[in-house]
Structure 1
Amino acid sequence: MKSSATKKDAAPEIVSNDSLVQSRLPARTGTASRDPAAAPGKTLAELLATDANDAPAFDTTVISGETARMFKTLLGNLDGMVYRCRDDENWTMEFVSEGCRRLTGYDASDLLLNNRLSYESLTHPDDRRRIREEITNGLQLLQRFDTEYRIMHASGEVRWVWERGAGVYSEAGDLIAIEGIIQDITERKSSSQALREAERRYYSLFENAIEGIFRTTLDGQYLDANPALARIYGFESAQELIAKLKDIRHQLYVDPSRRDEFMRLIKARGVVANFEAQIYRKNGEVIWISENARAVHNPDGHVICYEGTVEDITERKLYQARIEQQANYDTLTGLANRSLLHDRLQQAILSAANYGTRLAVVFVDLDRFKFINDSLGHHVGDELLRAMAERLKQSVRESDTVARLGGDEFVLLINGQRDPDAVAVVLERMLSDISQPWTIPQGDFNVTCSIGVALYPDDGDTAETLLKHADTAMYRAKEKGRNNFQFFTAELNALITQRLELENKLRRALERQQFELHYQPRIDMQSRKIVAAEALIRWQVSEHEIVPPSRFIPIAEEIGLIAPIGKWVLRTACEQNKAWQDAGIPPFVMSVNVSARQFRQENFVQIVADVLRETALDACYLEIELTESAVMHDAEQFIAMLGELNDLGVQIALDDFGTGYSSLSYLKRLPVDRLKVDRSFVQDIATDADDATIVRTIVALGHNLGLKVVAEGVENEQQLEFLRDNQCDELQGYYFAKPMSASDFAHAVFGSTE
C-alpha cells in the first residue's frame, strides 16, 4: 500500500522517490509469499464476513467459473477499493479491485504490482508514518487494523479514506499477505468536521455570549446556564448558580406573581418574548431583566424542558425612567409638568362628567417671586420654588394633581368637589400654608400667592378653556391686592381682555412716542423755594385716552418693558433739566424714579453715566429715587452700586420710606442723601397719633444719620404745620403744585413761556 515499486519493469519516470523514507519505516512482520495460490490462511471470504461493506481483494486465479464472475461483479459494484498486497518492504499490490479509479483517480493496473506507483505514495506525507505504525501494530497483535487518513487523488485533491484490513497467515502462523478494503469518507469527514465546528462555535457562543442562556426543568430547576447568566445573577460560576438557585419563583423574582405570569404564557403559547421582570441578584441587589424562552418537546410532542435567554435591561429601564421623568415631570420640583398636566386634566374632565362632580382648575402664582429671585439670586429662587411646591402638595389630597408650568406658576387639579364652597375651604387652607414664614440663612420671608379658579363644567368644558379662565381669575386676584383667590366670572373675563389689549398697546407706546413726562416741584421748608422736581411718566394713548402710571407700570414690570421705558424717562428728564438751565432757569435737582428691575441691570451705572455725558447735565443735578424695599432685599449688592452712583456725583433718595422693613445696620452704610416719607403716613398726621409718631421717628432717624427728610403728599395747612414743627426738610404735594407738563411747569413756577 505505501511504497514505490522496485520492479525492474516499473516505469522509472513514475516510480515514487519515497524509498528513503520507507527504508526507515518498519516492514510488515512475517514472510511474504510471491505466489497468491500459496495463501491457504485467512481467506477473502473470512474478511468479507466481518463487515458487509468491507470486500477485501482476492486473486481470481484461485477461483473459476461462475463463482469468479460473481465475485468480479460484486467487487466491481463495491463502494471502495479491495486489495491484497505482499508483506514486503513496498507492500507490493497483488490485487486491486475496479473501485481503484473511483477512489484514487488511477486505474487498478497503475497500482497492481506497483506498476506506475505504489499506493503508499498516494498517502498524505503527514499521515504516512502514523498509518504504517498502526497497521504494523495490528499485524503484530494478529488483529484486524482499522484507520483513517488522507490520500492525494490523481486530480490533486486531498481526500479522506477509511481502511480496514487483516493479515493472511499460513497454517504455521506465518504472515503471507495483507487483505483489506479502502473507502472514500471525504463527505462524511466534511460533515463530521462541520458538525464539530458547529459544536465548537455553539459552545463558544454559549460560553462567551453577552446574554444569559439557560435550560430549566418544568418545575424551575436549572439544567444548564452559561457564564453570562451567572454574571447577570451575581454568581461566581454557572455551576454555583445551578447548585444554589433551587426555587426560581421565590429566590429570583422580586414579585413572585411575575413568575406565575411567565409560566402561564409559556404554557399557553409555547414561547415567551421580551418578558420583563425585576429579580434579585445573589447579593440582594434588584435589577431588571428581559427573558425570551421556549418550550422544548421530545419526539412524542411532550414538553421536556424550557430554554431561553436573559438580558440585563437595568440601564435601559433607568434611562427610560429618566426620559419619562424628563418628559412628564418638572426637573426642579418633581411636580407634573405641562405635558402631564394636560393629560391628567383631560382624564379629570372625563371623570367629572361621568360622576357628575365639579373639577376645580386652580392657577397659583407666587407674589413678588421675581423680586426675590432677582435680588437674592436664582439659587434662592429655586429653593423657594421647591419649598412652595411641597406646601402646595401638602394642601391637597394624593388623588389631586399639582403641576408646575414654569417660573412661579403652578396649577392644581382638585377632583370630586360638588360645590364652590368646598373648593374655597381648600384654597383658604392653601393660602394659610403658603404664607407661613420661609426661613433661610438670609432671613425669614413671608411669601404669599394669588390664586385663580375655574370650575368644570361651570366655566368651561375643555382643558384649554379651563386653564385660560383660571389664569384670568389669578390676574384678578393680583389686582385685588394679592394673597387671595378669585373665581372666574364673565365680568372678569372682560377685564382681562381689556388688560391684554392694554399690554399690546404698551409694547408699541415707545415707538409711537406716546409717553410724556410731568414734573412736580419739591419745596425747601425754610426758604419755600423750589430745590428739585420729580419726573413722573404719563401715557397718552390717544387724544381721549390717558392711562395712569398705577395701571401700566405693573404691566411693564411683568412683560419686561420697564427697563427701556425707564431709560427713556432718565434721558428725557436729564435733557429737560439741562434745557431749563440753558434757558436761564436757576439750576435745581431732577428726581427720577428707578424700578428695582431697572436698577438690577448690570450696566445701570454705566447707563446713568452715558446719559449724563450725552445730555451734558452735571451729575449733582440728578437724583435717583429707589424704593426702600428694593434696596433692602439685596443690600450688599446695592451698596456697591449706590457707591458707584455716588462717585459719579448723583444724589440718592429712598422713596416710600417706612413701608418696607429697613435694616438699620444696612441703612447707616447706604450712601443715601434723602429719605422720602410715604404719603400714607403724611395723610393723617394731624389726626392719627400713630402716623404722627411714625413721621416724627423717621425725621429724627434721618437727621441722626445726616440725611435730609422729604414729606410726600402734603395737601393742607395742618400737615404743613406739623412737618414744620418737627423740622422736616423738604415738602412735596398738591398743596404746592400738581405734576405738570414741562411747559406748564416752567410757566407756573418760573414764569417762563417754554
Structure 2
Amino acid sequence: MKTAASPVISDHDNTPAQSIPRSPRLLETLLANLDGVVYRCRDDAQWTMEFVSEGSLQLTGYLPEELLLNQRVSFLELVHPDDRQMVRAHVDDCVRLRRRFDVEYRIVHAGGAIRWVWGRGVGICNAAGEVEALEGFMQDVTERKEAAQALQEAERRYRSIFENAIEGVFQTTPDGTYIAVNPALARIYGYRSPEDLIVSLRDIRHQLYVEPDRRSEFMRLMEEHGSVSNFESRVYRRDGDIIWISENARAVYDDAGALVFYEGTVEAITERKLYEAEMRHQATHDALTGLPNRNMLHEHLQRAIHSARQKGGLTAVAFVDLDQFKYINDSLGHQVGDELLKTVAQRLLSCLRDSDMVARQGGDEFVLVLQNQTEGDVGIAEVMQRILAAVSRPWQAGEREFHITSSIGVSRYPTDGKDVETLLKKADSAMYKAKEQGRNNFQFFAPWMDTQVSNRLEMLISLRRALDQQEFKLFYQPKLSLKDGRIIGAEALIRWESPEQGMVAPDRFIPFAEEAGLIVPIGEWVLRTACRQNKAWQDAGLPPIPVAVNLSPRQMNQALPEFVANVLAESGLSASWLELEITENVVMKDAEKTVATLNTLKRLGLQISVDDFGTGYSSLSYLRRFPVDALKIDKSFVRDIARDADSAAIVKAVISLAHILNLRVIAEGVEDEEQHAFLRENGCDEVQGYYFGKPMAVADFTERLRQEASRPG
C-alpha cells in the first residue's frame, strides 16, 4: 500500500526490492497517532474507501469500518454539498496531470457540525498506467480557518469604518509624509481621492500647515506624551483655502521601541472656530458700531499703560460725548439715533492712526486711546481739533440735515494718572468741563477738576441713607410663556425713590453701590424682600410663580448658599419659587469656585439662569459644566433681530443649542410684535419686555396676577 508520503504518482513496480522488515503493530501505532486520517480509496464515483486510519472517528465522527466500502457513508458524501464539485474537479485535474492534490474544503461531521479539512494526496496507477486508487491524508484545520475568517471580518469592518468615517483618518511617517488616509480626509483637504492626497501632499510641515511651526509643536507633544489631543491648527486645502482642523493622534512603536508612524483623526472645525470668534467679537465689540466695547477698552488701555511704562512716552485718553444725541434719539427714534452713532464711529476712526483705538463706552459716549504722543499736548490738541471738525460735519437723516457737535475731555499718562480707572475718571471729569464751557470743545484734565469727586461722595452718602431709611423699592416685570401667553414668572427690579432726585434708575446708582461696597447689603435686601412678597402673593391665593432675583458678582461667594437657605426659611417660601439670575461674565470669572457655589445652591431646589447671555466670553458647550436651568438672551440681540441678520442668526443659534442642552431660553427686552413673532417662530420659551408689561409696583403687579388668575383655561 502506498502512503501519503509517496513523492510522486506511481505505478505498480514488480521489480523485487530489498525491504526493511516492519512490524505491523508499529505501523498501526504510527497511523493511530497521526492528527488526522490516512486513507486509500478507489477512483470511482463515490471514492469508495479501501483503507481508513483510526483518526477518522475524531475527524469525521465515523469509525473506520463505517467508511470502508461505503458501509455507512461514502467518502464523497462526507464532503460538504457546496464543496463537492470543486473538490472533485481539483482532484481529477491533479490525477490527470500526474500531480499531487492539495485542497482545503468542508466536511459534514457525523454529528452535523461543519469542519474544515486540509486534504493532500496522490493518485495510484496500475501496471497499465491507469489510476486505480487515491491515497492521501486529511487534517482538521477548522480553528485556523475560523481564525482567518474572523481576521478577515475584522479587517473588513475596520476597512469599512476607515473608508466611511466622517472624520479624517491618517497614518504619517515621522518625517512628514502620508502612509494612508481615508476618503474623509481627502474631502476635508480638497483632494479627489486618498491616493491623490498621498501623492500630492509630500511635505506636511510646509504644504499643509499655515504656520509650519505647528508641525514642530505636534512632534514635541508626541515626544513628550506619545499623543496629542484636540490639536487645533490652520491648514491649506488643495485649492489654497485656509480651514481650521482639530487633530487627535498617537505615536506607534515597533517591538524594539522604535517610532514607526503617527496615526490619528482629523476633524474640520472651521464653522466652530468662526462661531467662537463671532461670540468673542460680540463679547469685546459693540454690536451696533462694531467698535471695541468697554471690556476691550480696559484691556487695551492696560496694555498701553504697560508699554508706556516700559518704553516711556505719552499716552492720552479722550472721552467723547455727543452734545445733541438725546434730542435726536428722543425725537426721531432709536433707529435714526443708531445710524448717527455708526456714522460718528466711522468719523472717529478716520481721524486716528492704526495704533490708536476708538471704543464705544456706552450710549453716546466714545473713548479714544492715543499711544506714543511724541509731540506732547500740542500733538494731542491737533488730533482733538480734527475730531471736533469731523464729528460736526453735516449729517443727513432723511430729508433733514443735522449739525452734531461733541464735547471731549482728555487725560494723560503718566501726568494725570497711572492706572486705567484713574485715567478714565479724569477724562470723564474733563469732558464735563467741556460741556460747561459751551460744548463743541475739548479740555485737558486739570487737578482742580477733582472737585467733581465731591458729587460722587454725595451720591455714596445718599445711598447709605437710602438703605437705612428704606428708600429702595422693588418693581416686578412679568415673564410670559410663548406657548399660551400666560404669566409664568417675574423678575424683581430695584428702584431708588430718592427724596431729592425722585425715582432713580438702577443704572445710575448701582455702579456707585458696587464701588462703595454697598451692593452686597442692597442685594441681600432685594432677596429678602422678593421672597417675602412672593410668599405673600401665594398666601393670598394668587397663582404661584417663580420670582427671579439678580445677583451681583460680589455676592457670588461660598457664604451665599447658606444666606439664601436662611432667607427661604425666614420667608417660608419654597425654593422652587425662587430663581437666581447671574450674568455670563460672573459665571466665567472663576469657573471652579462658581460651579461649586451653584451646585450648592441647586441642592436647595431653586432655579438658576444666566443673564445677558451672548455679551461675555462663554460658550454653550462650556456652560454644560454649570448647573443652570435657563439662558436669558441679552436685549441688545433681541433689539436688532428684525433688522439685523447677524443678531437674528445668533438668537436662532442660541435657542437651538440651548434646547440641545435642555436649557430654557428667555428673551428680554421684547418691545414690539416683530420681535415677539420672531421669537415665537424660532422656539423661544419665555419672553420679557415692555411689549408685555413694564416693571410694576407691588400693587399693580398684584392686580395683574389677579387678572391672570381669572383668565379662562
Counterpart for residue 435 of structure 1:
392
Alignment map for 1:285-324 (pairs within 5 Å): 285-292=241-248, 308-324=264-280
Q: How many Å separate the matches in 2 of 1:425 and 1:499?
A: 36
Q: How many Å separate the matches in 1 of 2:301 and 2:459?
A: 27
- 3-state SS of 1:44 partner: coil
Question: Over aligned residues, Cα RMSD in angstroms?
Answer: 4.4
Superposition deviation, residue 503 in structure 1: 11
Once the two structures are aligned, what percentage of the paired residues are identical? Answer: 55
Q: How many Å separate the matches in 1 of 2:169 and 2:62?
A: 52
Question: Is 1:105 equivalent to 2:61 in the alignment?
Answer: yes
Query: Deviations for 1:361-392, whole angstroms, at most 9, x for unmatched residues?
Result: 43322122122123333333222212222232
Q: How many Å separate the matches in 1 of 2:198 and 2:343?
A: 52
Counterpart for residue 322 of structure 2:
366
Counterpart for residue 234 of structure 1:
190
Counterpart for residue 283 of structure 1:
239
Counterpart for residue 407 of structure 1:
363
Contact map agreement 1:473 1:492 (CA 8 A) in 2: no
- 3-state SS of 1:316 partner: helix
Counterpart for residue 447 of structure 1:
404
- 3-state SS of 1:320 partner: helix
- 3-state SS of 1:124 partner: coil
Superposition deviation, residue 421 in structure 1: 6.5
Tell me the amino acid that sits aligned with residue 143 of structure 2.
E
Superposition deviation, residue 189 in structure 1: 1.0
Contact map agreement 2:167 2:267 (CA 8 A) in 1: yes
Counterpart for residue 516 of structure 2:
none
Counterpart for residue 193 of structure 1:
149
Distance 1:471 1:103, change over 3 A: farther
Question: Is 1:178 equivalent to 2:134 in the alignment?
Answer: yes
Contact map agreement 1:401 1:414 (CA 8 A) in 2: yes
Contact map agreement 1:214 1:225 (CA 8 A) in 2: yes
- 3-state SS of 1:187 partner: helix
Contact map agreement 1:472 1:496 (CA 8 A) in 2: no
Q: How many Å separate the matches in 2 of 1:427 and 1:141?
A: 107
Question: Is 1:44 equivalent to 2:3 in the alignment?
Answer: yes
Tell me the amino acid that sits aligned with residue 384 of structure 2.
L
Contact map agreement 1:295 1:303 (CA 8 A) in 2: yes
Query: Deviations for 1:712-738, whole angstroms, at most 9, x for unmatched residues?
Result: xxxxxxxxxxxxxxxxxxxxxxxxxxx
Counterpart for residue 149 of structure 1:
105
Tell me the amino acid that sits aligned with residue 405 of structure 2.
T
**Structure 2, gaps ≥5 residues long:** 9-18, 473-497, 510-713
**Structure 1, gaps ≥5 residues long:** 1-38, 51-62, 513-540, 561-754
Q: How many Å separate the matches in 2 of 1:357 and 1:157?
A: 93
Q: How many Å separate the matches in 2 of 1:212 and 1:119?
A: 53
Contact map agreement 1:454 1:473 (CA 8 A) in 2: yes
Which of structures 1 and 2 has the bigger CA Rg?
A: 1
Superposition deviation, residue 359 in structure 1: 4.8
Contact map agreement 2:52 2:64 (CA 8 A) in 1: yes
Counterpart for residue 93 of structure 2:
137
Question: Is 1:482 equivalent to 2:439 in the alignment?
Answer: yes
Distance 1:476 1:135, change over 3 A: same
Counterpart for residue 454 of structure 2:
494
Contact map agreement 1:163 1:181 (CA 8 A) in 2: yes
Contact map agreement 1:144 1:167 (CA 8 A) in 2: yes
- TM-score (norm. length: structure 1): 0.53
Distance 1:559 1:274, change over 3 A: closer
Q: How many Å separate the matches in 1 of 2:303 and 2:58?
A: 83
Q: How many Å separate the matches in 2 of 1:373 and 1:212?
A: 54
- 3-state SS of 2:98 partner: coil
- 3-state SS of 2:46 partner: coil
Superposition deviation, residue 270 in structure 1: 7.0
Q: How many Å separate the matches in 1 of 2:393 and 2:150?
A: 81
Q: How many Å separate the matches in 2 of 1:459 and 1:156?
A: 100
Contact map agreement 1:357 1:416 (CA 8 A) in 2: yes
Contact map agreement 1:476 1:492 (CA 8 A) in 2: no
Q: How many Å separate the matches in 2 of 1:273 and 1:496?
A: 52
- 3-state SS of 1:284 partner: coil
Q: How many Å separate the matches in 1 of 2:57 and 2:433?
A: 109
Query: Deviations for 1:264-294, whole angstroms, at most 9, x for unmatched residues?
Result: 7768887665444434434333323344556
Tell me the amino acid that sits aligned with residue 450 of structure 2.
A
Q: How many Å separate the matches in 2 of 1:130 and 1:146?
A: 12
Tell me the amino acid that sits aligned with residue 161 of structure 2.
L
Distance 1:232 1:45, change over 3 A: closer
Tell me the amino acid that sits aligned with residue 150 of structure 1.
R
Alignment map for 1:413-424 (pairs within 5 Å): 413-416=369-372, 423-424=380-381
Query: Deviations for 1:612-640, whole angstroms, at most 9, x for unmatched residues?
Result: xxxxxxxxxxxxxxxxxxxxxxxxxxxxx
Superposition deviation, residue 93 in structure 1: 2.4
Superposition deviation, residue 44 in structure 1: 0.9
Counterpart for residue 85 of structure 1:
41
Superposition deviation, residue 109 in structure 1: 3.9
Q: How many Å separate the matches in 1 of 2:51 and 2:370?
A: 106
Tell me the amino acid that sits aligned with residue 493 of structure 1.
V
Superposition deviation, residue 193 in structure 1: 1.0
Distance 1:221 1:500, change over 3 A: closer
Tell me the amino acid that sits aligned with residue 490 of structure 1.
D
- TM-score (norm. length: structure 2): 0.56
